[in-house]
A and B are shown apart, each in its own frame.
Chain A
C-alpha cells in the first residue's frame, strides 16, 4: 500500500474521531469512546506498518508558493520519525484504553476522549512533518490540545489556572521558536527539513555561524518551553491538575517529548553551533539537577513523577547536546514507555486510595494492589536505572555520550542526577510499599482490590515495554543509521553503582524498619525549605515577572484609557461642537441662502473678470 495513504490514515483518523465524537456523540459516551479507540487503533496499525516498511524518501505536496517561497506539506520517513511515531501511537492508544476505566464515572467523557483524539492527531502529525512550518503548526496544536486536557476539569480554579499557565509559558518559548523560523524564512527562504539539514545547500551553508547560533538558540527557547527546561519548567508540575491519564500522555510521548524530538530532528544544525550546544548542555544540566532536588521532598505522587520527567528531559537534552544523538533518542523512547507506566500506576493508586499523597497511599494499603504495585516497581526500577530495565540501558548510553564529548563537570552532574533519581524514585516506592503505619479497615470501598482489567491491560503492556525496550537499542541504532559502540560490563559499573547507592540511601532513609521516613534533606532545614518551595522560582515569577507585567499592563492601560480613549473622545467632541457651530449658519431662512448664493456668484464673477 502507498505509504502516503497509510501516513494520512495514521495521522488524520484520530482527528476524524475527535470531530465525529465531539459533533455527533456528545451524549453517547460509549459510542464516542469506541470511535476514539478505533481511531487510536488505526494510528497504531498505520505507524507499525510504516515502521515495518523501514526508512524511505520523504513525500511532499505543494501547499502554496509565493515568489521565492514554496511551502510544502508532507511526511518524513527516517528512522527517528518512524520509531517515535510508533511509540506515540502505541502509548496514546494505551492511555486511551486506560482512560475508559479511569474516567468511567466522569460526566464529560466524550469531551475527554475527543481531546485525546485531537492530541494524538496533533502529535503524530508533528512527528511525521517534513516542513518546519508544518511542524510548527502541529507543535502549537499539541500545546492547544494539552491546554484543553490540563484544564479538563475547568470548573476547578486550580485546573483552569494550570491550563492557562501551561499555555502561556509554552507560548513564551514558542515566540522564540517562531522568530527563529522567521529568520530561517528570511535567510534561506525554505522550510523543508531535509533541505535545511543538508550540509552543502542547507542552513549551515547559507548563513554565517553567528546567525546559525542565533537561530538555533531561538529554536532551543521553544524547546525549553515545550520540554519544560529551566527556567520555563514551572508549568509542568502544575499541569498535574489534569486527569492522571492526561499527565501520563503529556509526560511520556506527547507534548514534552515534542521539544526533545524537535532537537533530534534538527540535530545536525545544533551540532554545527558550538555555542548553542554549550548553552543547551548548561541549561539541561541545571534542569536535571534542580528538578531532582525538588522531587526529593515532594509529597504528591504525581508531582514527584512530574519533576522526574523534567529531570529526565534534561537528561535527554544533555545527551543530545553532547553529541549523543542515539542516546538522547533512545532515552526519549524508553522514558516515554516507563513514564507512561508510572503515571498510569499513580492514577490507579489515586483512583483507589482517594489521595495523591505518597504516604497516604502507603497508609491506605496501596501495596495490596498487586498488579499496580508490580507496575510501579518495574516503572520505578526503569526510571532509577536498575539493570536490565529499559532506563538503565538508555542512561548508560547517555553517560557514555557525555564522557565522550562533555566536560567532566557534566559527567559528574549526570551521575549526581542519576543518584538523586534513584533516591527519590525509591523514596516513593518505599513509602508506598513499606508504610510506617497502616489503616486496617474493611470498608465497602474495597481497598486492596486492584483496578479493572481495562486499566491493568495497558499498564501491563507498558510494563513489558519498560522491561524489554532496553534490549532494542541495537535495532534502534540500525534504524537511526548510527554507530553504537559496545559497552563492557566494566564501563557500566559506575552507572550500576550510582543506582545502588541511591537505592541504599533511600532504604536508609525510608525503607528500614527504624527509619525516620523523613529523608536526609528534611533534616537540613535551609535545604528543605529551598526544595519544598521549588527553589522559589514560582515565587520569583509571581513577585517579579508577574508584577513587572502587571506594571507594564497598567501603564498601557493608562495610555490606552487616558491617552487614546480620551484623545479620541476629545476629538469627537470637537467635531460635534464645530458641527453645532456651523449648524447655526443654516438658519432655515431661504432668502438668506439665496442672498449668499448671489453674493458668492458675484464674487466668483469678479474673480473671473479680474483674472
Chain B
C-alpha cells in the first residue's frame, strides 16, 4: 500500500461525511457525518505518520486526541439533541430557522 492509496481512502471518507452533513435533515445523521470526517482526518494523520514523519509518535498522539475529542463531542451533541427533541419534538435541521434574517 502506498501513501496515495491511504490519502484517497481518507478523501473518500471525508467526502462521504461532508455530503452527509450537508444533505441529511436528521441531526443524528449529521452527527454520523461529522464522525466520518474525523475518521478521515485520523486516517490521514496515521498515513503521514507511517510514511513521512521523523518521529512516529506525534501522529499517533494526535489521533488519540481526535478519538477523545470525538467521544466528548458525541456526548455533548447527543445531550443537546435530547433537550432539543424535548422542547420541539423534532430533530429536523430544516425546521430550525429562528436565526433567519
Instruction: Mark A residues whose CB is within 8 Å of B.
Output: 582-591, 594-595, 598
Contact = CB atoms under 8 A, between A and B. Distances in A.
A594 B21 contact: yes
Contacts of B98: 588
Minimum-distance CB pairs A-B, first 10: A586-B101, A588-B100, A588-B97, A583-B101, A588-B99, A595-B22, A591-B22, A587-B100, A589-B97, A594-B22
A586 B22 contact: no
B93 A586 contact: no
A584 B100 CA distance: 8
Nearest to B25: A591
Interface in B81-96: 93-94, 96
B97 A591 contact: no
18 contacts: A582-B101, A583-B101, A586-B101, A588-B97, A588-B98, A588-B100, A589-B93, A589-B97, A590-B93, A591-B21, A591-B22, A591-B23, A591-B93, A591-B94, A594-B22, A595-B22, A598-B18, A598-B22
Interface string B51-73: 00000000000000000000000
Contacts of A582: 101
Nearest to A584: B101
Interface string B2-32: 0000000000000000100111000000000
A584 B101 CA distance: 6
Contacts of B99: 586, 588
A582 B101 CA distance: 9
A595 B30 CA distance: 13
A590 B23 CA distance: 11
Nearest to B24: A591
A595 B21 CA distance: 9
Contacts of A583: 101
Given A586-B99, A586-B100, A591-B22, 20 more contacts: A582-B101, A583-B101, A584-B101, A587-B97, A587-B100, A588-B97, A588-B98, A588-B99, A588-B100, A588-B101, A589-B94, A589-B97, A589-B100, A590-B93, A590-B96, A591-B93, A591-B94, A594-B21, A598-B18, A598-B22
Contacts of B18: 598
Contacts of A598: 18, 22
A588 B101 CA distance: 7
B17 to A, nearest CB: 11
Nearest to B94: A589
Contacts of A586: 99-101
Contact of A585 (B21, B23, B101): B101
Contacts, number: 32
Contacts of A591: 21-23, 93-94
A346 to B, nearest CB: 78
B93 to A, nearest CB: 6
B94 to A, nearest CB: 6
Contacts of A594: 21-22
A589 B101 CA distance: 10
Select the residue from B18, B98, B100 with max chain A CB neighbours within 10 A. Answer: B100
Select the residue from A583, A586, A591 with max chain B CB neighbours within 10 A. Answer: A591
Contacts of A588: 96-101
A396 B18 CA distance: 110
A281 to B, nearest CB: 77
A83 to B, nearest CB: 80
Nearest to B100: A588
Contacts of B97: 587-589
A382 B94 CA distance: 102
B98 to A, nearest CB: 6
A18 B63 CA distance: 85
A586 B93 CA distance: 15
Nearest to B98: A588
Select the residue from A584, A588, A598 with max chain B CB neighbours within 10 A. Answer: A588
A585 B101 CA distance: 8
B45 to A, nearest CB: 19
Nearest to A582: B101
Contacts of A584: 101
Contacts of A585: 101
B88 to A, nearest CB: 14
A575 to B, nearest CB: 15
A589 B21 CA distance: 13
Nearest to A592: B22
A583 B21 CA distance: 24
A587 B22 CA distance: 15
Nearest to A589: B97
Nearest to A583: B101
A589 B98 CA distance: 9
Contacts of B100: 586-589
A507 to B, nearest CB: 95
Nearest to A579: B101
Nearest to A580: B101
A603 to B, nearest CB: 15
A598 B33 CA distance: 15
Nearest to B18: A598
A79 B93 CA distance: 95
A15 to B, nearest CB: 62
Contacts of B93: 589-591
B9 to A, nearest CB: 20
A583 B99 CA distance: 11
Contacts of B96: 588, 590
A483 to B, nearest CB: 90
Nearest to A587: B100
A254 to B, nearest CB: 68
B10 to A, nearest CB: 16
B34 to A, nearest CB: 11
A594 B21 CA distance: 9
B13 to A, nearest CB: 16
A594 B27 CA distance: 14
